[in-house]
Structure 1
Amino acid sequence: MQRIELAENYEISRVIRGGWQLAGGHGAISADEAVADMVAFADAGITTFDCADIYTGVEELIGRFRLRYRDLHGQDALNRIRIHTKFVPDLEVLPRINKADVEGAIDISLKRLNLDCLDLVQFHWWDYAAPKWLETAQWLLELQNAGKISRISGTNFDTDHVRAIIQSGVPLTSIQLQYSLLDRRPEKQMVTLAADHGFSFLCYGTVAGGFLGDRWLGEPEPGHPLENRSLTKYKLIIDDFGGWDLFQHLLVTLRKVADRHQTDIATVASAAMLTKPGVAAVIVGARNRDHLKANLAISDLKLTEQDQADIDAVLAQAHNIDGDVYTLERDREGRHGMIMKYNLNKGE
């Protein structure tokens, strides 16, 4: 597994194990099996884990995993494990949030994760109409200075808001954002801002909820309703990208590339993102270790110039998706959609 220095003295694996699939609402899981799966990922080299305070039960599971990993391999091995959580203040709290609310949430994450200092906190803000997002970023900086947070990052902020946070004096280590062969909105402005200010990208959605996989090659365009909210979301991105026919053309091309490397479409789609400027790592969703071998292959795959040229030829035909990072999602969801998504992330 490739590793990369995300910040000075802070190294992560280039594939990150996502935690959302372990949250409530995704089906029953065994806590013991979930912890064993995390141990297997870490032993294989995927030593960075993503979670959030809003993902029901996931921080507690990762806290159990940390203690188990220390018992199995010792403190030195545990020191290589990195936990990226998210601070996601409750939607209804945003208009009246204060520093005590922020510190209270951080303290809860510390306790759940069995940490004295959070490795990396990714700040999310549901609604720009609630104006305290910049003050909240400053309170996170104060908690960093107090030793409760090592590094501050963001997730799903657009370029203007990221710029404002940085200009306010809050140093951002990374931004977690949707970035894939289908969705290249970060290339409009965010890539330049990242290069200018030295932060990196942690990418989710690199396989578009499974659409960028062999399962959909040659399949007819699905109708509504789709199987889950994730597929619905990424089907809209496919429509914005250029429609089902162009999407199938991309899958055919990715399959040819995969054949050259004796791998699968999803691995190629994720590996392609690791070649993009500013991208430090991709986040893979996993309920268990069933796809661990394929996850490990992502950082091993080296695309050739011909591979890249073939992919780029298809992407040159794609539409320019409107807006900046996460702008469409905010516009499409509106307040009702934000409430639904908030409850979904909580497992309700």
Structure 2
Amino acid sequence: MSAVPTVRLSGGLEICRILNGMWQVSGAHGVVDKTKAVKDMQDYVDAGLTTFDLADIYGPAEEIFGQFNSQFTSSGDDISCLQSLTKYVPRPGPMERKVVEKAVRRSMTRMQVDRLDCVQFHWWDYRDKRYLDALGHLSDLQQEGLIRELSLTNFDTQRLMEITDKGIRISSNQVQYSVVDQRPAAKMEQFCLANNIQLLTYGTLAGGLLSERYLGKAELSKGDLYTASLSKYMNMINIWGGWSLFQDLLATLDMISKRHNCSLSSVATRYVLDLPAVGGVIVGCRLGVDGAGKHISDSLQSCSPDLVLTAEDVTAIKAVTQRSRDLMALIGDCGDEYR
């Protein structure tokens, strides 16, 4: 098995280019067996997928990581081989130092760590400028050693520029990026490349819709959208161009996957991994439910050095995506769908 490729963030933290996303344990994707979830994490680590993406609002995600972290440490394994990127998603309100530090220490306690590898900050309303206060305090906590990397989640290019102009060093920005949603390429990509900011992308598999499972299928009904991810990304597909165009995209990805003897999902992931400024792709991990093995296999396949998309492959994909609607015009820049 080839080693999982890594990328180094600006503060020195080395992470896998395929990250294990833990949104699926938040409760919006069905019942999760927490004990099994902790046990399942070992399968990902054993496969070399050692970087986990979580959040303080993802239900028990931080506690699940903490339990695994504790077991991993007590077994004598080297804890430095695990990386955990959590999110701080505060409710609107005063962002005094004590409020921010309390949230950081709460995550540290839940995750059973003595400092946070990375805090990815999210803010709901740009009209409330107290996000700058929060980031200022987070930057201070970083200087004091409680946080290694300070990052963002779903911030647009304008605000990213504003924050860096304040002298706050940002390591990464987590944004939606896929063969369907290519908004980061419009503005953000160029700024990130110029400022050593990595893009960590989610939605790259559209909640599982970018897979063989949906190739050649009739348009999904509301009853078919049984997880929060499926509902979210089906809505994005409808805005982007609809089910018929999406089927053309799946057929093209399937053709390419057969050429490379890999899965359709691996091609979709590899396409984004190869884009400028993309440091890593977050793939939702199957913790506490059945079916993790195939999922791990696809993730490893997508970052294998044996999978090299050709110019012909990329041209074929663009021939479909160029027929879609302009999501920048319809939705706005990265993260605008949340505001």
**TM-score when normalising by structure 1:** 0.89
- Aligned residue in 2 for 1:273: 272
Q: How does 1:194-343 map to 2 (within 5 A)?
A: 194-224=192-222, 226-288=225-287, 289-290=292-293, 291-300=295-304, 301-321=307-327, 322=329, 323-330=332-339
**Quick one: which amino acid aligns to residue 21 of structure 2?**
G
Q: Which moved more, 1:260-269 or 1:197-206?
A: 260-269
- Aligned residue in 1 for 2:119: 121
1:19·1:286 contact (CA, 8 Å) conserved in 2? Answer: yes
**Quick one: which amino acid aligns to residue 44 of structure 2?**
F
For the aligned residue pairs, the C-alpha RMSD in angstroms reads 1.6
1:121·1:151 contact (CA, 8 Å) conserved in 2? Answer: yes
Alignment partners' CA distance in 1, 2:10 and 2:159? 22
2:88·2:122 contact (CA, 8 Å) conserved in 1? Answer: yes
1:95·1:131 contact (CA, 8 Å) conserved in 2? Answer: no
**Quick one: which amino acid aligns to residue 26 of structure 1?**
H
**What displacement does 1:214 show?**
1.1
2:154·2:334 contact (CA, 8 Å) conserved in 1? Answer: yes
Q: Which moved more, 1:21-30 or 1:43-52?
A: 21-30
Alignment partners' CA distance in 1, 2:114 and 2:156? 31
Q: How many residues align?
A: 325
Q: Which moved more, 1:285-294 or 1:208-217?
A: 285-294
- Aligned residue in 1 for 2:81: 80
Alignment partners' CA distance in 2, 1:249 and 1:70? 48
Alignment partners' CA distance in 2, 1:116 and 1:95? 27
Alignment partners' CA distance in 2, 1:68 and 1:304? 43
For residues 69-127 of structure 1, the C-alpha deviation after alignment (integer angstroms, 9 at most, x for no partner) is: 223353xx32021100001112xxx2333221111000001111111111010000112
Q: How does 1:32-181 map to 2 (within 5 A)?
A: 32-74=35-77, 77-90=78-91, 94-181=92-179
1:86·1:121 contact (CA, 8 Å) conserved in 2? Answer: yes
- Aligned residue in 1 for 2:20: 17
2:192·2:277 contact (CA, 8 Å) conserved in 1? Answer: yes
Alignment partners' CA distance in 1, 2:128 and 2:275? 33
Alignment partners' CA distance in 2, 1:269 and 1:82? 24
For residues 249-285 of structure 1, the C-alpha deviation after alignment (integer angstroms, 9 at most, x for no partner) is: 1110000011112222111111110000000111111
Return closer, same or farther for 1:229/1:27 CA change in 2, 3 Å cut-off.
closer
**What displacement does 1:25 show?**
4.3
Q: Which moved more, 1:109-118 or 1:150-159?
A: 109-118
| 3-state SS in 1 of match to 2:81 | coil
**What displacement does 1:26 show?**
3.5
**Quick one: which amino acid aligns to residue 326 of structure 1?**
G
**Quick one: which amino acid aligns to residue 203 of structure 2?**
G
**What displacement does 1:7 show?**
2.9
Alignment partners' CA distance in 2, 1:232 and 1:260? 31
| 3-state SS in 2 of match to 1:303 | coil
**Quick one: which amino acid aligns to residue 64 of structure 1?**
Q
| 3-state SS in 1 of match to 2:75 | helix
Consecutive unaligned residues of structure 2, counting only runs of 5 or more, are none
| 3-state SS in 1 of match to 2:173 | strand
**What displacement does 1:138 show?**
0.5
Q: Which moved more, 1:160-169 or 1:297-306?
A: 297-306
| 3-state SS in 2 of match to 1:282 | strand
**What displacement does 1:307 show?**
1.5
**Quick one: which amino acid aligns to residue 41 of structure 2?**
M
Alignment partners' CA distance in 1, 2:43 and 2:227? 28
Alignment partners' CA distance in 2, 1:142 and 1:116? 17
- Aligned residue in 2 for 1:7: 10
2:29·2:226 contact (CA, 8 Å) conserved in 1? Answer: no
**Percent of counterpart pairs with the same letter?**
38
Consecutive unaligned residues of structure 1, counting only runs of 5 or more, are 331-348
Q: Which moved more, 1:282-291 or 1:19-28?
A: 19-28
**What displacement does 1:178 show?**
0.3
**Quick one: which amino acid aligns to residue 221 of structure 2?**
G
1:213·1:265 contact (CA, 8 Å) conserved in 2? Answer: yes
Return closer, same or farther for 1:14/1:324 CA change in 2, 3 Å cut-off.
same
Return closer, same or farther for 1:30/1:220 CA change in 2, 3 Å cut-off.
closer
**What displacement does 1:224 show?**
3.6
Alignment partners' CA distance in 2, 1:13 and 1:319? 33
**Quick one: which amino acid aligns to residue 295 of structure 1?**
S
* Large movers: runs of 4+ above 4 Å: none
**TM-score when normalising by structure 2:** 0.91
